[in-house]
Amino acid sequence: MVLVNGKIVTVDAAMPQAEAIAVRGDRIVAVGSTQEIEALVGDATRVVELGGRLVIPGFIEGHGHYSSLGQSKMILDLTQATTWDEIVAMVAEAVQSTPAGEWIQGRGWHQEKWLAAPEVTVDGSSAVALPLPATDLVGCIFNQGGAVSDEITRRD
């Protein structure tokens, strides 16, 4: 099998990226330009057109959050917070630029890195963010606006 017209990561300092790769069985037998690799194609060779897509040979990813990588750049970054009060302050600041009805979403806080044992409560974020819904996307902590908007509060 050959894969052509792509971006092949080689992890070789002399040629960090190639356009094509040839594979026989479970072994990579050649990497190079599309023209070089197409010269190896025989009648029984399967040819895969990559159309510029990325290939990282041998890379098997068993637990990824790739969609989160882009999303994390568009939401509140809580990675530097060292207390719950700091998170509440960051939410309060985000309220100023968030249109009515839109969620304030944050991620990245890690209580193991905090200066003291956390006292995470809904009261702080509700006080600064209502009526906007807010959530942290990891620990599933919602403020009152988030709980009401998703109808997850108890109703008798």
Q: Kindly give the confidence (pLDDT) of every residue in the chain, 156 residues in length, as a single tens digit, with 9 standing for 90 and above.
A: 999 999 999 989 999 999 999 999 989 999 999 999 999 999 999 999 999 999 998 867 777 777 777 777 888 888 888 888 888 888 888 888 888 878 778 888 787 888 877 666 655 555 555 555 565 555 555 555 555 444 455 554
Q: Choose among 64, 116, 65, 108: nearest CA to 87.
A: 108
91 — phi, psi (to 5°)?
-65, -45
- pLDDT score at 1: 97
Alpha helices, H only, the chain: 34-38, 66-72, 84-95, 122-129, 144-149
Q: Which helix or strand (DSSP H or E) is residue 85 part of?
A: helix 84-95
For the whole prediction, is pTM greater than 0.85?
no
Fold of 2-55: Urease, subunit C; domain 1 (2.30.40)
- pLDDT score at 125: 54
Residue spans of the domains in the chain: they are 2-55, 72-149
